[in-house]
Each structure stands twice: as C-alpha cells, then as structure tokens.
Structure 1
C-alpha cells in the first residue's frame, strides 16, 4: 500500500485529505507543519508527501528545501490560486517538488470532492516518479560535509549535450511571406516547468524557429511560469492570452485551463487561446496544438517535442506529425520525472528520436543551424 504523509496546519484539511486518500487506497499519516514533517520523514520516509505552503514554525517551501537536501522523497504541493501562490509553486518545483494542485478554497468540504480524482491520480504518479539524483547534488554534499551553502548562480548553468543532432535533415525551402521558417511544438505535464528550464535556457536569442508550448497547468499559474522563463532565458517568453504572431527568438506558453491553437492572419501565423475542448482531458492540450499546426502548414516545417508528464497527451498527434513527414523528439525515460507522455509516443512508434533532457536543446540547435 502506498504511504502518504499529509502536511497541513489545518485540522479540517488534514481530515478531508485523509478521508479522500484512505478511500483511494493510501495509508495516511499527518504532520501539522514543516518541523513535524521533517521529523516524520527522517524517522520513516513515506512514498509521497502532500505539502501545504503556508504553515507556522516552518512553511512548506522551507520544509521542501530541507526534505530535498536531507531525505529526498516525491512531494506534491498544495497551492492557493493567487499570484503569490503561483510564484511559490514555481519556486517549489525549482526546489524539487514533483507536482502541485490548487488547494481547495471557500467551502473546502464541497470542493474536495471535485479535487479528489485528480489528487489521487497525481499522488499515484508522484509516488512512482523518478527524482533526478543530480538535482541539487552539490548542495546535498556540502550539507552532509558541514559546509556552508555554495553561492547560487545568477542563472542556471547550461546543460551539456551532444553536438550532433539525432534529427534527420531536410528542411523545405519555400516559406510563405510572413510565416516563420518552422515551428517547434512542445508538450509537457508533471515535471514540466524544470524540464522547460532545461530546454529553453540553452537556446540563443536568435533561435530561428518560434517555440510553442502546451504545459498542463491551471489558470493563474502559466502567466507566472512565462515570467520566470522570460527572466531566465535568452528567448522572449510570453503567455498566450490573445492572438499573437509567431516570431523567431520567442517562446509562447499556452494559458492554463484553455487550449493553445495556431491560426493564420494576414500578417502570418498566430498562436491563440481557445476554450478547452471537452474531448481532450488535459489542458492546454498538446494533441490539439499539434493538430492545429498540421492543419496550417507542412509537417516538414514542424518539430514536436514531448517531455515528462503523466498520461498520453500529445502522443497521438505527434505520431501523426511524424507519419506526415515531420520530426518528433521524445524525452528519454532516464531523465523524465514521469515517462507517461513521451513513453506513449515511443510505444506508438511516433518518435523520430529519443533524447535525454539535457540533449534536446542541442539537438534542435544543431539541426536548425
């Protein structure tokens, strides 16, 4: 039986979450704050932890920081749907949290029923998630040696990757006026924000193709994600909340709880938000993004990249993209936090290349150079 530690200072939330988790087949224990959580994890590490952000004595971010350095276990954060909550969530993902869920607000006893299926699914996926051993390794070593923390670099270091691209060459020559020469289409979910850091940070400001990203997230979180990526990357990164023309050197993040599709305007190809389609389970939908691109331009001018995430969103559409003559990259199993989406693409025979996370940016740079 999967064991979960619920960390929350609210007795009501502990009771509600405990009831949902026990009904879902989990063995549940509790901590009222970060101090109790650290003690419980040190004594008997659970399979997965749910962590509130705002708590007395030691808040969720401070506790998560200590957990990932001292006793790494998969952690799913419960975050409020506010700008501050979104920023805290992204910081938690940077520190090593596997995933997050919006915390029930208002009448928690009513909203917990709506949250329950997703909570159970995310915790099951997180319990089997692969924690990257290299993540914050230097900090862990210094802590165990009794050394002070090393200064944090101003920007994350670029990941090393093979110089040779595994993607076949063969770009089309004729491009309609106003169109970008091609488009990189990215899909990701659980573990996606840190993976997007690794993908986008090595790309130069003059990267010749726009990058369009469907990252599964609720509304309110994608704007904060775009701001953080824009700060850390040479590319200009923005959330798509209105029709925006696709330009080289730019990356576009789909708005949470909507879908991201491509269309054509007189000036060229645009990305735009669309109401989420009920036939797709996850939003922004990677399948719908890729299909909209295929309806707009030749497959030879498209590259699909499917990275870490539970489920199979994007796999079917990217398999169609490859069958039509385009190229696709699946993140390799050894680097994916959850090898659901890229694994589904590989099993469908739709991956032109299977590449570790640290090599995907170099593969794109080498091919388009």
Structure 2
C-alpha cells in the first residue's frame, strides 16, 4: 500500500508516518504542501492520501479538488475541531474525500498519538475504495428522479404516526444528501439522520442540508418535537432517543451509552423508536459506513413489518453497515441513494396501510 502524507508541519508528517509505518507492506512518502502533493500524485501514484486542510501555497481544499479531477484517489482529511474546520472538512467530504480525522490539539498536535488506531483503520479502509468510484460515490449533486411505479414491498405502518430513521457513518454526507433530495415538501413523516460525527460537524451538516433542501433541517440539541415534512440531525458526541412528552413525539440527545461503540448510536435511536412507536411504524434506511451499528435493531424492525431498506453495497463509500444488515435480512430491498429516497416517497404516499402483494 502506497500512502502519501501531506502536511506543512514536519512534526505532523513525522508523527503520521510513524503511526502508519506499522501497516503491513506499507510504502510512505510525504509532501509539505499541495503543489508537491499533486506532483507526487502523478509521479508516484499513491493508493491513499492523508491531507491536511490548512497549508500554505495551496490549501487542502484546492489540492483535494485537483486530486478528484486529475486522478481520483481515496483521501483521509486531517482537520481541527473548530466550527471553521468542520465546515471546510464537510465540504471536503462532499468534494470526494472518503473520511476525516480530527486533530485533538489543533493544527500541530502531539495528541494525534491518541488516535493511532483510528487513523490506521481509516487509512486502510480508504485504501480499499476503488479510485474510479471515489468521486462518483460521494458526489451529492443529483436531479430528482422521475416518478415511476414502485415494486411491491411488504410493509405495515401508519404514515401519520411513523418516523423515518437514516443510519449512516463513513461517506455519509454526500450519500445522505442524494437520498433526501428525492423527498418532496409534503413528505408525511419526520426524518431523523443519525450520522457518526463530532458535535461541530453535525451542526455544520444540518446547516448545509437546510440551505440546499426544500424541507427544513434542524439539529437535535434538546428535546425537539418531531414534525412531518421536517428533517432532524442527531447531535454529535451524544446519543439520541425518540420518546413521547405531553402527547407529542419528541427526539432528544442523551449521554453516550457505553453499550454501543459508535455515536450517535443508530442502535439506540432505532431501539427507542421501537419502544415508543412499535417497529411497524418505523421506516429505516441503513447507509454507507464502517461497522454494524443499528443492524440488529433494524432487522428486528423488519421482523415487525416495518419498512427497512439498505444502500446497495456497490454504491457505498464503505459497505460494512449495509452488509451487516443484509447478512441478517438478505431479502430487504437495496438500492443506491437516489432510489432509496424515491422508494421512501412511494411507500409513505402510496401504501399507508398494510400491503402484502410482495416480499420484503
């Protein structure tokens, strides 16, 4: 595996290379700025790149745009946890980066050693992504699909009492946007997006979606009444649950639950939805991501005749999450993001009561 480490700090280049040197059969080269990185992109042709977003001569965003247009290559971004860093990193993910690492102590940080395992894991995972598919998979820009008759799916729910839950992790922002762009202004359910991200990043993600979508988008920062035709993003560095207060359906952030590895936890969110509404009143979508967060719980929703869909693995940036669900429920419908959005639209508008002329 050939890894190009791009950072203007000699200390960071040394630290990152030292962490990644333990990967079997690894070859490492470094670049101190974006211009040098682009030269090595063509002359050395790395399999994966770690890219600092704050550099002189050519910043990380400009460098990334050239990488994706000249020779699309899996990129893991290194970013700060500031609001500005979150906005820049989010744009980088939309532009085609596979994943990101937050520098715990700022631009130059010895604290990166605390993230050794995460950095190695994300670089290895990114390297497994085919170069030709990197940019196309992450791109959020798509036109709404033309309406057509859906294939029958066995599903039972009351759309007026239902909630749509989207579970997603690595590679999520672009894929999620491609899905929700297909939902109309009158989508008859609240939609909750559970995306594995730090707090500053989920706030930036919600703001971005709110600007580009017809449906209003809010981050769940406190007990929030769930309204149809609204989209909600779970707050990062917390978990989120669905509950009932005063006869109203609400979602609220909760402290991290140690039972779960990933946060915000898709498993905990779906579990709370089952407890509050019953599985048959949930629409669940499992999208791109690393791990198996939410697979068991969504499989239970499917067994209770709720609607469960999975992003097709070949359209994912990382396919572990949908594959984990498909292992448990091999017969559920799988599709690329745009098609998932269209399926959700037809299921909520065309089949508000039980349908049995098909298999799920």
Q: TM-score, normalised by structure 2?
A: 0.91
Counting only pairs closer than 5 Å after superposition, residues 192-211 of structure 1 correspond to structure 2 as 192-211=172-191
Residue 160 of structure 1 pairs with residue 145 of structure 2: yes
Matched with 1:341 is 321
Pair 1:24–1:135, CA change in 2 (3 A): closer
- Paired residue for 2:77? 77
From the superposition, tell whether residues 104 and 134 of structure 1 become closer, same or farther in structure 2 (CA, over 3 Å).
Answer: closer
State the Cα deviation string for residues 145-202 of structure 1 (Å, max 9, x = none): xxxxxxxxxx9442537723346255445x8xxxx52111110111100011101112
Contact 2:279-2:300 within 8 A present in 1 as well:
no
Paired position in structure 2 for 1:129 = 129
Contact 2:54/2:107, CA 8 A, preserved across alignment: no
User: Counterpart of 1:63?
Assistant: 63
Q: Look up the match of 1:31.
A: 31
Per the alignment, in what secondary structure is the counterpart of residue 104 of structure 1? coil
Question: Which residue does the alignment assign to 1:8?
Answer: 7
Query: Hey, what's the Cα distance between the residues in 2 that align with 1:246 and 1:216?
Result: 21
SS at match of 1:280: coil
In 2, distance between residues paired with 1:363 and 1:107?
43
For residue 99 of structure 2, what is the aligned residue in structure 1? Answer: 99
Three-state SS of the structure 1 residue aligned to 2:61 is: helix
Indicate the larger mover: 191-200 or 351-360: 351-360
Distance apart, 1:131 and its partner CA: 5.2
Pair 1:254-2:254 in alignment: no
Say which structure is richer in helix: 2
1:262-288 alpha-carbon deviations (Å, 9 max, x no partner): 111014111110111112111011111
SS in 1 for 2:30: strand
1:274 matched residue in structure 2? 254
**What SS is found at the alignment partner of 1:78?**
strand
Q: CA deviation at 1:205?
A: 1.7
Secondary structure (helix, strand or coil) at the match of 1:100 reads strand
Whether the aligned pair in 2 keeps the contact of 1:169 and 1:367 (CA below 8 Å) is: no
**Gaps in structure 1 of 5+ consecutive residues:** 140-154
Q: Report the Cα distance in structure 2 between the residues aligned to 1:232 and 1:283, rounded to whole angstroms.
A: 25
What is the root-mean-square deviation in Å for CA atoms of aligned residues?
A: 2.2
Q: Could you tell me how far apart the structure 1 residues matched to 2:97 and 2:233 are?
A: 21
Cα 1:233/1:260, change in 2 over 3 Å: same
* Length, aligned pairs only: 347
CA contact (8 A) 1:329 1:351 kept: no
Cα shift at 1:235: 1.1
Deviations 1:285-324 (A, max 9, x none): 1111111101111211111100001111111111111112
Q: Is the 8 A contact 1:259 1:276 kept in 2?
A: yes
C-alpha change, 1:309 and 1:130, in structure 2 (3 Å) is farther
In the TM superposition, what are the counterparts of 1:281-320 in structure 2 within 5 Å? 281-320=261-300
Q: Check if 1:52 corresponds to 2:52.
A: yes
State the distance in 2 between where 1:301 and 1:291 align: 13
Q: Give the direction of change, closer, same or farther, for the CA distance of 1:343–1:328 in structure 2 (3 Å limit).
A: same
Structure 1 residue aligned with 2:355: none
- The answer on whether the counterparts of 1:319 and 1:350 sit within 8 Å (CA) in structure 2 is no
Find the counterpart in structure 1 of residue 167 from structure 2.
187
- Cα displacement (A) at 1:24: 3.5
Q: Give me the TM-score of the superposition, normalised by structure 1.
A: 0.89
Aligned residues of 1:167 and 1:363 also touching (Cα < 8 A): no
Offset at 1:47? Answer: 1.2
| 3-state DSSP of counterpart to 2:277 | coil
Unaligned runs of 5+ in 2: 350-360
